Amino acid sequence: MKSLRVFAPATVANLSCGFDVLGCCLENVGDEMQISLSAEAGVRITKIEGADLPMATDKNVAGVAVIAMLAALNDTKTGVDIEIYKKIKAGSGIGSSAASSAGAVWAVNELLSRPFTNAQLVKFAMEGERLASGNAHADNVAPALLGGFTLVRSYAPLDVLKLHTPKDLFMTIIHPQIEVKTADSRRVVKPTVALKKAVTQWGNLGGFIAGLYTNDYDLIGRSLEDVIIEPMRSILIPEFENVKSTALENGALGAGISGSGPSIFALSKGKTTAEKVAKAIEKVYQPTGIIFDIHVAGINANGVTMVS
Amino acid sequence: MKSLRVFAPATVANLSCGFDVLGCCLENVGDEMQISLSAEAGVRITKIEGADLPMATDKNVAGVAVIAMLAALNDTKTGVDIEIYKKIKAGSGIGSSAASSAGAVWAVNELLSRPFTNAQLVKFAMEGERLASGNAHADNVAPALLGGFTLVRSYAPLDVLKLHTPKDLFMTIIHPQIEVKTADSRRVVKPTVALKKAVTQWGNLGGFIAGLYTNDYDLIGRSLEDVIIEPMRSILIPEFENVKSTALENGALGAGISGSGPSIFALSKGKTTAEKVAKAIEKVYQPTGIIFDIHVAGINANGVTMVS
Tens digit of each residue's pLDDT (9 = 90 or more) over A246-269:
999 999 999 999 998 999 999 999
For A21, which of B199, B213, B219 is closest by C-beta distance? B199
> What is the reported pLDDT for A135?
87
Q: Is pLDDT of A182 > 70?
A: no
For residues B69-80, average pLDDT:
96
Q: How many CB pairs under 8 A join A and B?
A: 130
Instruction: Answer whether A164 sits within 8 Å of B209, measured CB to CB.
Output: no
Give the B window 5-24 contacts with A, CB below 8 Å.
18-22
Q: Give φ, ψ of B294 to 5 degrees.
A: -130, 135
Q: Which of A165, A182, A246, A273 is catalytic?
A: A182
* DSSP one-letter string for A168-199: TEEEEEEEE-----HHHHHHTS-SEEEHHHHH
Whether the predicted model's global pTM rises above the 0.80 cut: yes
User: CB distance from A192 to chain B under 8 Å?
Assistant: yes
State the span(s) of chain A assigned CATH 3.30.230.10.
3-163+301-306
The residue ranking higher by pLDDT, A232 or B81, is B81
Q: Which helix (H) or strand (E) holds A12?
A: strand A3-13
Q: What is the pLDDT averaged over residues B110-115? A: 97
Q: State chain B's maximal CA–CA distance in angstroms.
A: 58
User: Is A202 at the interface with chain B, CB within 8 A?
Assistant: yes
Nearest Cα of chain B lies from the Cα of A273 at a distance, in angstroms, of: 26
B129 among known catalytic residues: yes
What pLDDT, in 10s, does the model give residues B158-215? 999 999 999 999 999 999 999 876 677 778 889 999 999 999 999 999 999 999 999 9
Contacting residues for A257 by C-beta, under 8 A, at least 6 apart: A14, A16, A93, A226, A229, A230, A233, A234, A237, A240, A263, A264, A265
Of A189, A195, A206, the CB nearest to B153: A206
Q: Which CATH architecture has domain B169-298?
A: 2-Layer Sandwich (3.30)
Q: Please give the C-alpha separations between residue A243 and each of A218, A232, A238, A278, B115, in angstroms, as whole numbers.
A: 20, 16, 9, 10, 41
| B37 Cα to chain A: minimum distance (Å) | 37
- Active-site choice (B182, B225, B246, B273): B182
Closest CA to A25 of A169, A125, A187, A182: A169
Query: Residue type at A33?
Result: M
Least confident of A177-186, B111-120, B262-271: A177-186
> pLDDT tens digits, residue range A94-146?
999 999 999 999 999 999 999 999 999 999 999 999 999 888 999 999 999 99
Instruction: Considering chain A, tell me which residue range(s) the CATH 3.30.70.890 domain(s) occupy.
Output: 169-298
Write down the mean pLDDT value for chain B: 95
Q: Considering only CB atoms, which chain A residues are within 8 Å of B196?
A: 191
Q: How confident is the model at residue A1 (pLDDT cuts 50, 70, 90)?
A: low
Any CB–CB contact under 8 A between A119 and chain B? no
What ipTM was reported for this prediction? 0.94
Are B268 and B251 in contact, with CB atoms under 8 Å apart?
A: yes
Q: Does B163 touch chain A if contact means CB atoms closer than 8 Å? A: yes
- Give the relative orientation of helices A61-72 and A118-133 as an angle to the nearest 10 degrees: 140
Neighbouring residues of A218: CB distance < 8 A, sequence distance ≥ 6: A211, A253
Domain A3-163+301-306: CATH class, spelled out: alpha beta
Give the separation between CA A225 and CA A18, rounded to whole angstroms: 9
A122, A149, A199, A208: best mutation site toward chain B, by most B Cβ within 10 Å?
A199
Q: What is the pLDDT of residues B14-58, one digit of tens each?
A: 999 999 999 999 999 999 999 999 999 999 999 999 999 999 999
